[in-house]
Amino acid sequence: MLAAERKLRIVEYVRQHRTASVSVLAKEFGVHEATIRRDLAEVEQEGLLKRTHGGVIVERLTPNEPSFNERTNVALDQKMRIGKMAASLVEDGDHIIIDSGTTTLHIAKNLVNRSNLTVITNDINVAAELRDAPGVKVTVTGGELYPSSFMLNGMFTDHVLRSLHVSKAFIGTPAIHPKHGLMHPEAQLVLAKQGMIAAAQEVIVVADDTKIGKLSLYKVAPNSSIHTLITGKEVAEYDIKPFHDTGINVITV
């Protein structure tokens, strides 16, 4: 069997079984495990499958993003740790953007006692969290309110973001992939995230381990635009290694 044909059949086999180990694939196709590992490396480069420790799985797709209330308690402990770490990167006197999301909300919770800080956000929850913080000036982008997430989005949001220059932008995401970068299932939310990234000197992505390695429909930004990725210590090493390898500062908490 030619290598090209074997790789196609490997993809078909894994899609049928959802997952497979190197040893199982070696027996199935009658080749050495080293040959299967080479095949899997090439197939992963093509974005068809995702290698794991000792095997391979079908790429995980994020088809949609649940409402704020549905997401708020998912990986809550991680989100709290991530938020605390992200807030520690903020210096008094900074001008920052905080994206909408259940993880970014925990950044705001850790900034209430800071001083001489300017926060721009498209999230009503983030703004409300900081409303009584005496040392924090809050600017809300404006835009259409999304009741399911308390996020502001649309033409007004995009216009404001295009006029900004900030030191740091903290970006939430439902999917971040080692090859395709930041991704999102909803086209109408892509422009705002791109605007935040373009406005910032430093881009910090906050994402719990369930978002790492995920694919979605729309590309938001390449990994080359990301300076730091903060995620939970629950993340698998094989999931974060590709981000390390591209030069992103990966922090696990």
pLDDT number for residue 52: 75
- Reported as type and span, the H/E element at residue 57 is strand 55-58
Average pLDDT, the chain: 90
Higher pLDDT, residue 200 or 44: 200
- pLDDT score of 134 more than 80: yes
178-195 pLDDT, tens digit each = 889 999 999 999 999 999
- How high is the pLDDT of residue 194? 98
Structure confidence at residue 61 (pLDDT): 59
Q: What kind and span of H or E run contains 231?
A: strand 228-231
What is the structure's pLDDT at 234?
Answer: 92
Task: Measure the CA–CA gap between 177 and 242, rounded to whole angstroms.
Answer: 9
Going by pLDDT thresholds of 50, 70 and 90, the confidence category of residue 149 is confident
pLDDT tens-digit profile of 45-78?
Answer: 766 677 777 777 666 656 566 666 667 777 899 9
Domains of the chain: 3-58 (1.10.10.10), 68-252 (3.40.50.1360)
Of residues 45 and 242, the one with the higher pLDDT is 242
pLDDT of residue 174: 93
**Residue 69: predicted pLDDT:** 65
Q: Give pTM, 2 decimals.
A: 0.79
117 in Cβ contact with 111 (< 8 Å): yes
- pLDDT > 90 fraction of the chain, expressed in percent and rounded: 66
Burial 76-113 (b: 16+ CB within 10 A, else e): eebbbbbbebbbebbeeebbbbbbbbbbbbbbbebbbe
Which range (39-53, 61-75, 109-123, 126-140) has the least confidence?
61-75
What was the pLDDT predicted at 66? 62
- Which residue type occupies 77? D
Mean pLDDT across 230-242: 89
